[in-house]
A = this chain, B = another copy of it.
């Protein structure tokens, strides 16, 4: 049913004839067509919550570039919004949670949202995007990790120091565990509903796992991602739905991340892809890991860095090309195009059959 299934094959370490490529935040502010739709929507939240508009921006990068995947346009804070915590996006300020959760009593008041009720707009977007994609490329669904979403819920928004949630971690561990369990259950339901609605791969974004000590990471982040994974129905249209885990700054913890049973790991730019591949011993696929700042450079320089990333992974399947984090809003769209073109041009040689290799 899929015209291009390179992404799904690479995530399962199956044979591909070139490295598939997509970009985190590919539907985003660097595209003038996105900014136009965003202006029409009136607010970021309105854009997320209107399935027709979310679908429109999801498809925009695919109209411009030969990408191998679409990713649902949404936000990792849809769950706090569905929990009734009051989500606001203030211009230049980042997200704000109006009613932060800081006590056990506050956690106990919360219930797992019904994805087809409070998060219906996401499921409608997934169904609409699948229909509009019409099998061209797979659709990736996603959610934030419980730990990462909890940082916003407890801090009341973005943070630099994460002092409030860290204080909870040290002083009120059971409150934090109760919140993380609620978020893990909510996220499992949410992702299963995305899969049932048509998501063909899933990515879990653990943006803030990297601020933890190794022991805290296992207890408060990895543990809950692992529980989600164990509860996911990993099939859609008779095909396996691969799961990608991405902990930014988690380069030291790749082996333990594998043990969750995920299919692939996202790798930021601070870890060498060859080292990461050796660390996981080809047990899972790897996605990444071009420095997002590299896209400020000239197309010729971008091509060199794409070559370096491909070479660091080396011959063999199981690599999905991506940035090491989301594309910056100030990147020129032609520079993203240069990256994608370079992957198309330079990656086939890493996928030739043994006998073919020059």
* A residues at B contact (CB < 8 Å): 161-163, 166-167, 170-171, 210-216, 249, 251-252, 269-272, 275, 291, 293-294, 296-298, 301, 305, 308, 328, 330
On chain B, the residues within 8 Å of A251 by CB distance are: 252
| Given A162-B293, A212-B270, 10 extra CB contacts under 8 A | A163-B296, A163-B328, A167-B293, A167-B296, A171-B296, A171-B301, A213-B269, A213-B272, A214-B272, A216-B291
Pairs across A and B, CB under 8 Å, 9 listed: A161-B293, A166-B296, A170-B293, A170-B294, A170-B296, A211-B270, A214-B270, A214-B272, A215-B272
Task: Report the minimum CB–CB distance from A173 to chain B (whole Å).
Answer: 10
Q: Is the Cβ of A293 less than 8 Å from the Cβ of B163?
A: yes
Residue ID in chain B nearest A160 by CB atoms: B160
How many copies of this chain does one complex carry? 2
Q: Is the Cβ of A214 less than 8 Å from the Cβ of B328?
A: no
On chain B, the residues within 8 Å of A330 by CB distance are: 163
Task: Report the minimum CB–CB distance from A287 to chain B (whole Å).
Answer: 16
Interface centre among A215, A270, A297 (most CB of B within 10 A): A270
Q: State the CA gap A207–B212 with chains docked (Å).
A: 17
On chain B, the residues within 8 Å of A293 by CB distance are: 161-163, 166-167, 170
Q: Is the Cβ of B166 less than 8 Å from the Cβ of A275?
A: no
**Cross-chain contact of A171 among B215, B271, B297 (Cβ < 8 A):** B297
* Known A170-B301, A293-B163; contact A249-B272, beta-carbon cutoff 8 A: no
On chain B, the residues within 8 Å of A167 by CB distance are: 293, 296-297
Residue ID in chain B nearest A324 by CB atoms: B213
On chain B, the residues within 8 Å of A171 by CB distance are: 296-298, 301
* Known A171-B301, A296-B170, A305-B170; contact A214-B275, beta-carbon cutoff 8 A: yes
Q: Is the Cβ of A252 less than 8 Å from the Cβ of B249?
A: no
Residue ID in chain B nearest A272 by CB atoms: B214
On chain B, the residues within 8 Å of A294 by CB distance are: 166, 170
On chain B, the residues within 8 Å of A271 by CB distance are: 214, 252
Residue ID in chain B nearest A217 by CB atoms: B270
Q: State the CA gap A93–B37 with chains docked (Å).
A: 33
Residue ID in chain B nearest A212 by CB atoms: B270
Q: Is the Cβ of B170 less than 8 Å from the Cβ of A297?
A: yes
Q: State the CA gap A197–B354 with chains docked (Å).
A: 65
* Known A252-B251, A296-B163; contact A213-B270, beta-carbon cutoff 8 A: yes
On chain B, the residues within 8 Å of A270 by CB distance are: 210-214, 249, 252
Q: State the CA gap A291–B270 with chains docked (Å).
A: 21
* Known A170-B296, A170-B305, A171-B298; contact A291-B163, beta-carbon cutoff 8 A: no
Residue ID in chain B nearest A173 by CB atoms: B301
Residue ID in chain B nearest A253 by CB atoms: B270
Q: State the CA gap A216–B162 with chains docked (Å).
A: 28
Q: State the CA gap A296–B168 with chains docked (Å).
A: 9
On chain B, the residues within 8 Å of A213 by CB distance are: 269-270, 272, 291
On chain B, the residues within 8 Å of A298 by CB distance are: 171
Task: Report the minimum CB–CB distance from A130 to chain B (whole Å).
Answer: 34
On chain B, the residues within 8 Å of A211 by CB distance are: 270
On chain B, the residues within 8 Å of A215 by CB distance are: 272, 308
Task: Report the minimum CB–CB distance from A281 to chain B (whole Å).
Answer: 17
On chain B, the residues within 8 Å of A272 by CB distance are: 213-215
Residue ID in chain B nearest A172 by CB atoms: B297
